[in-house]
Amino acid sequence: MTPELKERIDNLVKQDKIFVFMKGSKLMPQCGFSNNVVQILNIYGVPFSTFNVLEDEEIRQGIKEYSNWPTIPQVYVNGEFMGGSDIMVEMYQSGELQQALEVALAS
C-alpha cells in the first residue's frame, strides 16, 4: 500500500465517528451484506458516512489491506475497525453494538 493511499484511507476513517466502506450508498446499497449494515445502523438512528468502493478500485482493494479484512462492507467506529456484516449482525443481536455506538457518539 502506498503512503498516499494509506493517508487517504486514514482520512476517510477519521472523517466521522461511524464510517462504512460498502458497495453502493446508504440510500442505495448494492449488495445484501452492505444493506444489512445500513439497516442495523438505521435502527439505532445514528449518523454515519459511507464510501462506495464500487466507484474507486484503489480504495476497494486498499481497504482490505488496511484492515487486514478480506471483505466489504467494513465498519469503522471512532477510527477503529469494528468488522463486517456478520460481526455487525452478531454485535446487534448481543446488544454489544448499541453500547459501542453510544460510547463512540458520546466521546
72: domain CATH number is 3.40.30.10
Give the chain's end-to-end CA distance (angstroms, integer).
31
How many structural domains compose the chain? 1
77, HSE (Cβ side, Cα atoms, 13 Å): 19
Report pLDDT digits (tens) over 69-86: 999 999 999 999 999 999
* Residue 29 lies in domain: 3-106
Amino acid letter for position 52 = N
Which residue numbers in the chain have pLDDT < 70? none
The model's pTM: 0.94
Please answer whether residues 98 and 44 qualify as being in contact, where contact means their C-beta atoms are separated by less than 8 angstroms: yes
